[in-house]
Amino acid sequence: METAFFSFKNHLLLLLLFSVLLLILTIHPLEAESEDAAIISRFQQYLQINTAQPSPQYQQSADFLISQAKSIGLEFQSIEFAQNKPLVLLKWPGSDPSLPSILLNSHTDVVPVEQHKWAHHPFGAHVDSDGNIFARGSQDMKCVGMQYLEAIRRLKSSGFHPLRSVYLSFVPDEEIGSRDGAKKFADSEIFNSMNVGIALDEGLASPSENYRTFYAERNPWWLVIKATGPPGHGAKLYDNSAIENLLKSVESIRRFRASQFDLVKAGLKAEGEVFSVNMVFLKAGTPSPTGFVMNLQPSEAEAGFDIRVPPTADPESLERQFAEEWAPISRNMTFQFKEKASIHDKFGRPMLTKTDSSNPWWILLEEAVRKANGKLSKPEIFPASTDARYIRERGLPAIGFSPMANTPILLHDHNEASV
């Protein structure tokens, strides 16, 4: 197995090469082994900052990132669009600021951990005998944020000065929807002033030798369905009881989910191209001191569903299905959205970044991977959601790209590791 030490270093080279092609530069030789060790040490320091939701150590993270900016020689600022949630924005000024800039985005928060289920402390950044680095965020996505920094560190140390400006944004709250992070950032005057031409954001590791890229993503629709009905004795058979009506809807949704999943299992569509529907909560019953009242049928029942909608979908058709089949008024049912993200940008177009010759940024990425002796898989729709959607929502191109090939997908898992 390739060790984390050399794997992380090679991933840096790929991002370095992409930066080089974007900035019209040639590759420089690898640093000495001592510098490689320093790179890993800086990565470990970042991982050791506990930025897990719901109480991320954002200020410690911001202080670390600003210290890195100072050591590299980048401009920096810490911005709070929401109190105690700093967004760190770094800038490498270009010699021609009139040109569209490059934005390298990553998020600083990570998902929670069940510490007792980890082989090593989730914020210890332990390196095992095979070189694997165990830590929450080692794949999602502190590794990519550090790769951006190390690539620019190398470029600056070579004496190169970019023609166009390069920005690095380290944003909070991606793991809880980004409302106080990337969303407010993308809507701000600060973002407008940056004149962004292309953004890179997170992708996924690839278990094969081919790197994965993402040109779009599914958008979250979080749906709550509620059924009402007459309360009654637990032994009596009622028509249109709350739980009975809800179960009819659950079965209909289950069949829809299975039909979408069958397309994936048959190889007819990729995961990002279909709707995903997963029940995330079920609430019913009359509480009692010992649990629930067993001889009383409740008058209300609710279920919540995490639905992910591909950017090529017909949202109006899906909403009709909600009203007519999943939560019909005829069964005393209602539905509401806890989250309903748009699948169109502000110009009314599907939020898709082109991956053909019409997009020069895409051509540069393909060339970079080839020159690094790598291979790209077919571009995909990201199966979940990332901060890139707020960039695409503005009509700008954004590519999801975490350069990790021959690497198991471990984000959000116990024992997440860079391998």
Annotated catalytic residues are: 109, 174
Which residue, 53, 58, 64, is CA-closest to 90?
Answer: 64
Q: Specify whether the CB–CB gap between 75 and 139 falls below 8 A.
A: no
- Rg value, the chain, Cα: 24
The partner residues of 309 in beta bridges, in order of sequence, read 219
Spatial distance between the Cα atoms of 86 and 108, rounded to a whole number of angstroms: 10
Copy the structure tokens of residue 403: 């350069």
- The letter for the amino acid at 346 is K
SS3 of the chain: the string is CCCHHHHHHHHHHHHHHHHHHHHCCCCCCCCCHHHHHHHHHHHHHHHCCCCECCCCCHHHHHHHHHHHHHHHCCEEEEEECCCCCEEEEEEECCCCCCCCEEEEEEECCECCCCHHHCCCCCCCCEECCCCCEECCCCCCCHHHHHHHHHHHHHHHHCCCCCCCCEEEEEECCHHHCCCCCHHHHHCCHHHHHHCEEEEEECCCCCCCCEECCEEEECEEEEEEEEEECCCEECCCCCCCCHHHHHHHHHHHHHHHHHHHHHHHHCCCCCHHHCCEEEEEEEEECCEECCEECCCEECCEEEEEEEEEECCCCCHHHHHHHHHHHHCCHHHCEEEEEEEECCCECCCCCECCCCCCCCCHHHHHHHHHHHHCCCEECCCEEECCCCCHHHHHCCCCCEEECCCCCCCCCCCCCCCCEEC
Which residue, 393, 1, 4, is CA-closest to 199?
Answer: 393
The partner residues of 266 in beta bridges, in order of sequence, read none
Spatial distance between the Cα atoms of 343 and 274, rounded to a whole number of angstroms: 14
